[in-house]
Amino acid sequence: MSETIRPAYSNWRIYNRQVRDVVAGLTAEQLALRPRPDGWPAWAILGHAACQRVFWLCDFAGEPGAAESPFPDAAFNCPGDDDLDTVLSPAALADALDSTFAIVERCLDTWTIASLGEVLRRPEWDDSWVHTRGSVIQRVLAHDIYHFSEASVALGAAGVPAFDLWP
């Protein structure tokens, strides 16, 4: 039996939970804070991070779960990228982080170390969309951390308790 990749990503669940728990306790006004004047509000930053999990793992890598997330059409409708008009509430963001992390969890439990070198491509997309399974999961984790940090800066600058990924 091949070993899954979960041990290499053992803290990701903690990161998601830390962010989810803080988000669930914020107000809509706090989630409207921006890291810079021309930046997205925190709700869009975090919604974008959750939506991109669906894009990369479901739309690109072919994993199931998009329909159970708030982003069944992630390739064309993600907060921030495509939609700054549909504001996500604290409860909606917490749900988005939970439901999209369920997709991540399934990948951590089913993808194996041996499978990380597998080349993934979408024949209906152009040739620039060729990545290994390993680069996809690394991209999703790095993307999460980048945007969690960006939202944390927006909150912290306003004196709102920010995310502590390493409590």
Give me the domains of the chain, ranges plus CATH numbers.
6-157 (1.20.120.450)
The three-state secondary structure class of 101 is helix
Angle, vertex CA 29, rays to CA 26 and CA 35, nearest 5: 90
Stated pTM of the model: 0.94
Reported as a single tens digit per residue, the pLDDT across 62-119 is 999 999 999 999 999 999 888 899 999 999 999 999 999 999 999 999 999 999 999 9
Reported as a single tens digit per residue, the pLDDT across 109-149 is 999 999 999 999 988 888 888 999 999 999 999 999 999 99
Q: Exposure pattern of 82-119 as b/e (b: 16+ CB <10 Å)?
A: ebeeebbebebbbbbbebbbebbbebbeebeeebbeee
**Confidence check: pLDDT of 1 > 70:** no
Question: What's the whole-number average pLDDT of the chain?
Answer: 94
Length of the chain: 167
Reported as a single tens digit per residue, the pLDDT across 7-30 is 999 999 999 999 999 999 999 999
**Residues in contact with 130: Cβ distance below 8 Å, sequence separation at least 6, in sequence order:** 119, 120, 121
